């Protein structure tokens, strides 16, 4: 579904990504681990089109999106929930979800998919509430719900557990694989929360200094001292 081929990128003269090959299938959750500064956020930005690759390719199905602007990638089905969530605080929950439907302009009917509320019932309860007044966890759910309103085929989640309560982290760990299976979405889950990744991912990658240095199943990682070393835990 989604592939990056030898992707390189950086900021100005600072190289950050160095030949990243990543493949995620429909319905699969790939966990991306790595310590701060490894380049995880940068990789998601290069996939979503927020930052241009300096080398390599980003391919979705049979479409080469390497040079496509971000809005075209969103319309092609790549949804990005950035670190810090990026919801519109001044808008209501419903308005945020409506904004999310715009990415699906060519593919959807512009309505909020009813089953979104099946994943996040709290969003229906809070539909008329201003997003800025939600708790951190509820805002994260809104950010994911908004992304799903664009009927994506690829969902990029950047540290969804950051700064939210443990019980909501738990429900995100359950929802992420469910969303992938039920909607056939390829999900890239960037996380520092090891428990969440090991629970939610089918496959885990570890990044270090802009390279993928390790790959394995969550089972293989579960009592892996190497992983703890790599992540400096
Ligand atoms: N906007 C930016 N401008 C310059 N350097 C950046 C910018 N964003 C990130 N970096 C640098 O790129 C490297 C990778 O950062 P990032 O992708 O955010 O890592 P991670 O998400 O794994 O913590 C770090 O060295 C960081 O300082
Ligand atoms: Mg990051």
Give the model's pLDDT for residue 232: 65
Query: Domain residues of the chain, as ranges?
Result: 2-86+151-231
Q: Are 93 and 146 in contact (CB under 8 A)?
A: no
Beta partners for residue 38, in sequence order = none
Q: Homologous superfamily of 2-86+151-231 in CATH?
A: P-loop containing nucleotide triphosphate hydrolases (3.40.50.300)
Closest ligand to the CA of 9: 1
What residues have CB less than 8 Å from 120, skipping those under 6 apart? 141, 142, 144, 145, 175
Probe target for ligand 1 pocket from 33, 34, 38, with the most ligand atoms within 8 Å of CB? 38
Give the model's pLDDT for residue 218: 86
Give the model's pLDDT for residue 63: 96
Least confident range of 40-49, 73-82, 98-107, 129-138: 98-107
CA of residue 123 to ligand 1 center, whole Å:
32
For all residues of the chain together, what is the average pLDDT?
93
> What integer is the mean pLDDT of 151-162?
96
Give the model's pLDDT for residue 55: 97
Give the model's pLDDT for residue 226: 62
233 pLDDT band, cuts 50/70/90, is low
């Amino acid at each position: 579904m989604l592939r990056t081929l030898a992707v390189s990128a950086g900021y100005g003269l600072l190289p950050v990504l160095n030949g990243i090959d990543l493949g995620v299938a429909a319905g699969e959750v790939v966990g991306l681990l790595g310590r701060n500064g490894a380049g995880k956020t940068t990789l998601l930005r290069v996939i979503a089109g927020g930052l241009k690759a300096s080398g390599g390719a980003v391919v979705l199905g049979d479409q080469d999106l390497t040079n496509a602007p971000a809005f075209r990638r969103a319309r092609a089905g790549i949804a990005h929930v950035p670190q810090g969530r990026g919801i519109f605080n001044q808008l209501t929950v419903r308005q945020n979800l409506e904004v999310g439907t715009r990415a699906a302009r060519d593919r959807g009917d512009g309505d909020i998919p009813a089953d979104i509320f099946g994943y996040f019932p709290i969003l229906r309860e809070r539909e008329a509430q201003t997003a800025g007044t939600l708790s951190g966890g509820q805002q994260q759910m809104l950010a994911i719900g908004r992304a799903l309103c664009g009927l994506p085929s690829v969902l990029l989640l950047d540290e969804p557990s950051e700064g939210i309560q443990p019980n909501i982290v738990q429900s995100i760990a359950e929802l992420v694989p469910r969303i992938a299976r039920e909607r056939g979405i390829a999900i890239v889950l960037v996380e520092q929360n090891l428990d969440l990744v090991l629970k939610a991912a089918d496959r885990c990658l570890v990044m270090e200094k802009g390279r993928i240095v390790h790959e394995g199943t969550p089972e293989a990682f579960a009592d892996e001292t190497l992983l703890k070393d790599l992540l400096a835990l």
